[in-house]
Amino acid sequence: MEFTTEPFELDSFPEHAATARKVVDEAGLAVSVGPFGTGAEGDAEQVLSAVTKLLRETLDAGATRISVQVSVLGEEGGTR
């Protein structure tokens, strides 16, 4: 999955972003942080559970928008 949380803050690391990172770390997902979003990989149940928790907890932590994209990867790592 890939996700971003908003609002963006240039001067600090907002609570909703820290919460999102904590959720994916606790889910045991492999995380990669990029300049415009965060990627996380794991098996389907891990990812689906993490998405639900991510949405609930980041909204509670002050996010005003959350963008999520979930892709299913095939055997070779490509989407199918």
- 39-77 pLDDT per residue, tens: 999 999 999 999 999 999 999 999 999 999 999 987 665
* CATH at residue 27: 3.30.70.930
Any domain includes 34: yes
Provide the domain count of the chain: 1
Parallel/antiparallel/unpaired status of strands 38-41 and 30-33: antiparallel
Prediction pTM value: 0.82
Any domain includes 33: yes
Q: What phi-psi label fits residue 47: left (phi over 0), alpha (psi between -120 and 50 degrees) or beta?
A: alpha
- 20-47 pLDDT per residue, tens: 999 999 999 999 988 778 999 999 999 9
